[in-house]
């Protein structure tokens, strides 16, 4: 389904899992259309059937057990997992209208996830030496609850963020997530904070204005 928010950005919300290759092809086509001035910017909320994806820095040794399809994506980063119970936001924005600052865009994505998690009472943070969004797991150790991975082509962004609502965490065992072996992976459900897909989507949308304002040029809403 599509839900067009006020302003220039289209919000697309899919409830049923969408195959990763299909979503990637749609992103690539939309990226080109936005760059050509033929389509609106897009935020696409989605989940996938189980899949491992490889970023441009993926190391072969980080693929431990390829029990699911492995797809090269062109985004930054290393291996990650997508599957049911994980909510993904693909963010396709035209940075020529928004300051052409890739670092500010990534930082804003991190802040968007952190602020939304805080709305559910979960403290999270970005670590300067590690990719992703981190929180305190049930055993007191640091664990990853969200992933960030982007690609910028013709100054239009692709990919985005993923947050673990209630995925099968054992599925992460087939890879070294983002190449970081010394830390675990957690989810909202594991932390005792069950959040339905629709409720997460609504919370993320409520925080979208802050996200856009964190890197937009003054004339852009």
Residue 55 belongs to what domain range? 2-96+117-213
> Is residue 109 in some structural domain?
no
Instruction: Give the tens place of pLDDT for each residue, 163-220.
Output: 999 999 999 999 988 777 788 999 999 999 999 999 999 999 999 999 999 886 544 3
Chain Cα centroid distance, residue 114: 12
- If you average pLDDT over residues 2-14, what whole number do you get? 70
Residue with tokens 């100054």: 155
> Is residue 128 in some structural domain?
yes
> Is residue 101 in some structural domain?
no
Active site residues: 178
Instruction: Give the tens place of pLDDT for each residue, 77-99.
Output: 889 999 999 999 999 999 998 98
Mean pLDDT score across all residues of the chain:
92
Instruction: Give the tens place of pLDDT for each residue, 41-69.
Output: 999 999 999 999 998 888 989 999 999 99
The reported pLDDT for the residue numbered 221 is: 37
- If you average pLDDT over residues 136-155, what whole number do you get? 96
> Is residue 107 in some structural domain?
no
Q: Residue 2's pLDDT band (boundaries 50, 70, 90)? A: very low
| CATH number of the domain bearing residue 57 | 3.30.930.10
Question: Could you tell me if 35 and 60 are in contact, meaning their C-beta atoms sit under 8 angstroms apart?
Answer: no
Give SS3 for 106.
Answer: helix
The reported pLDDT for the residue numbered 64 is: 94
Question: 100 in the Ramachandran plot: left (φ > 0), alpha (ψ -120 to 50) or beta?
Answer: left
Instruction: Give the tens place of pLDDT for each residue, 106-135.
Output: 999 999 999 999 999 999 999 988 889 999
> Is residue 55 in some structural domain?
yes
- Give rounded-to-5 percent helix, strand, coil for the chain: 30, 30, 40
> Is residue 133 in some structural domain?
yes
pTM to 2 decimal places: 0.92
> Is residue 104 in some structural domain?
no
> Is residue 219 in some structural domain?
no
**Number of independent structural domains in the chain:** 1
- If you average pLDDT over residues 28-50, what whole number do you get? 97
- Is the confidence at residue 15, as pLDDT, over 60? yes
Of the candidates 94, 209, 106, the residue with the CA atom closest to the CA atom of residue 160: 106
Residue with tokens 């998690």: 117
Of the candidates 153, 188, 2, 137, the residue with the CA atom closest to the CA atom of residue 75: 153
Residue 115, both tokens: 């602020």
The reported pLDDT for the residue numbered 131 is: 87
């Amino acid at each position: 389904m599509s839900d067009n928010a006020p302003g220039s950005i289209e919000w697309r919300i899919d409830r049923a899992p969408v195959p990763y290759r299909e979503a990637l092809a749609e992103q690539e086509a939309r990226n080109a259309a936005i760059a050509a001035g033929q389509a609106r910017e897009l935020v696409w909320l989605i989940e996938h059937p189980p899949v491992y994806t490889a970023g441009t820095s993926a190391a072969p040794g980080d693929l431990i057990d390829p029990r699911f399809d492995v797809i090269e994506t062109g985004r930054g980063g290393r291996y990650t997992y997508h599957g049911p119970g994980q909510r993904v936001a693909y963010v396709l924005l035209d940075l020529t209208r928004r300051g052409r600052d890739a670092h500010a865009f990534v930082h804003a994505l991190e802040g968007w996830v952190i602020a939304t998690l805080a709305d559910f009472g979960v403290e999270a943070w970005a670590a300067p030496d590690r990719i992703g969004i981190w929180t305190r797991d049930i055993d007191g150790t640091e664990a990853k609850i969200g992933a960030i991975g982007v690609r910028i082509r013709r100054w239009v962004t692709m990919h985005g963020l993923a947050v673990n609502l209630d995925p099968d965490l054992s599925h992460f065992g087939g890879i070294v997530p983002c190449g970081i072996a010394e830390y675990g992976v957690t989810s909202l459900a594991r932390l005792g904070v069950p959040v339905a897909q629709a409720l997460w989507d609504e919370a993320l949308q409520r925080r979208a204005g802050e996200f856009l304002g964190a890197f937009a040029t003054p004339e852009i809403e």
